Structures are given as C-alpha cells and as structure tokens.
Amino acid sequence: MSTYGRGLRGLSLATIATISLALVLVFFYAPLDADQGFIQKIFYIHVPLAIVSLCGFIFGGVLAIGHLRTGDRRWDLRSYVAIHMALIFGVGALITGSIWAKASWGHWWVWNEPTLVSFLIVVLLFATYQPLRFAIEDPMLQARYASVFAVIAGAFVPLNFLAVRLAQQYVHPRVLTLTGGNLPGSMRLTFLISLLGITLLYATLWKYEMAAKNARMQVRRLRRALLGDDAVPAFGRSAAPS
C-alpha cells in the first residue's frame, strides 16, 4: 500500500513559502506593465493556473496509460485525482481570465478569440470525464473506459495548444515563446516563481487527495477484514478501488 502522506508536510511548507514569495514579488517587486498597468498583475495568477491545469490533464492521461498497461486500479485513481485537480485549476484559470478580459477588453468573454475558446473546449471536455465515469457501474469497466478517455483527451491537449499557436487571428497576449517571450527580467522572475508556486500547489493538493482516498480505502479494507463484507456499505460515487 502506497503512503501518499510521506513528504506532504515538507511539500506543503514549500508551497506556502513559494506562493507567499510570489505574492510579494507580484505586488512589491515586479514593475507595472507599460501597456496594461496594474491589470497585468492578474497575469501572474491566471497564466500559471492555465499552464498547470493543461499539464495536469496531460499528467492524468500519462497516469491512465499506467492503468491500461498494468491493470492496476491505483493508476486509474491517480489519473482520476490528477484530472479532478486540473479541472479545478482550469475553472480558476477561466474565472481569473474572464476578470482580466473584462478589465482589459471590456467584455467578460470574447467568442472569436481562439485561445479562450480552445481552453474552454478543453475544460468542458474534461468536465464530461466524471459524468462518463460514474455512469458506468462495473468498477473494472469504469476504470478502463475512464483511462481510455483520459489518454485520448490528454493527447488532445497539446494538439489543441499547437493549433491555437498556429492561429493567426488572436488578440490574447503571448507570454511564453520559444525565444523566451517578451517579458523583462524582473517580470519573468516573478512569473517563474508564480508558476513554481502553482505547480507545487497542484502537487500538494494531488498528494492530499490521494492520501485522503488512501486512508478511506484502508478503513474500508479493515472493516471488511474484521467484520465481513456485509459491514461495508456501498461506496457510492468514488473512483477508489474497494
């Protein structure tokens, strides 16, 4: 049995320290953007949330490959938690992006902007993961179908990203490019620390969720071993192997 709680305290402290440092840098170190002014400060939270969310979806797909290769349902659970977390971060990116759009463009949403719409499509695609998963009663089938979905949808994420990058008509700012982007040094440092903080937050929350699910699973196993199958109530809506 894996112990997901190992190293969680250190990871949590590192996350708190990095996010605190990022907030100090955002508000007291990074200069005001000449074009956007104070509104640009949203960028330090919105872009890392979007990047980590997309990477989380891919991570979920990679973990699902582990399940399809080995048949071990713990890989499916890891994939489920990775996608669940990425979806929360994705919603955060959508809301903060929408606030930025309202402040910068005067609209909460712009439908003819490929970056926004493509990100919404990815989030909506993964929002169907849970209903699909829990529509299947057989736990083995549920895990297999969910893994197939996670792999295919995970592969769609970089393809979608590339398609948007190749699009010519966009107004959404480009922050990261192969040549290092157009950020000055202090802004780039602040952005990188923010990105690190959000990545650590994702890793911490993933481990917390896994540790919680693992603890519940162990309680159920103990109950079954001590009191028999009848003593264990139906699991309800859960991806955890019983």
Count of helices and strands (H, E) across the chain:
7, 0
Task: Select from 53-61, 84-92, 165-173, 185-193 the region that touches another protein (CB under 8 A).
Answer: 84-92
Number of residues in contact with another protein under rule CB under 8 A: 34
Estimate to the nearest angstrom the gap between the alpha carbon of 209 and the chain centroid.
Answer: 13
Q: Which of 11, 22, 30, 42 binds another protein (CB under 8 A)?
A: 42
Question: Does residue 27 belong to the site contacting another protein (CB under 8 A)?
Answer: yes
Q: Identify residues 189-228 at the interface with another protein (CB under 8 A).
A: 201, 205, 208-209, 212, 215-216, 219, 222-223, 226-227
Question: Does residue 77 belong to the site contacting another protein (CB under 8 A)?
Answer: no
Question: Does residue 39 belong to the site contacting another protein (CB under 8 A)?
Answer: yes
Cβ pair 82, 118 in contact under 8 A: no
Tokens of 205: 């929350």
Q: Identify residues 116-175 at the interface with another protein (CB under 8 A).
A: none
Tokens of 220: 């159920």
The CA distance from 26 to 74, in Å, is 39
Q: Which of 4, 59, 80, 100 binds another protein (CB under 8 A)?
A: 100
Neighbour-count burial of 218, counting CB atoms closer than 10 A to its CB (0-12 exposed, 13-18 middle, 19+ buried)? exposed
Tokens of 196: 């690190």
Of residues 141 and 215, the one with the C-beta less far from another protein: 215
The CA distance from 32 to 40, in Å, is 8
Question: Does residue 49 belong to the site contacting another protein (CB under 8 A)?
Answer: yes
Cα→Cα distances 49→96, 135, 165, 195, Å: 9, 29, 18, 8
To another protein, the closest distance from the beta carbon of 235 in angstroms equals 12
Residues at the site binding another protein, with contacts judged by CB under 8 A: 24, 27-29, 37-39, 41-42, 45-46, 49, 88, 91-92, 95-96, 99-100, 102-103, 201, 205, 208-209, 212, 215-216, 219, 222-223, 226-227, 231
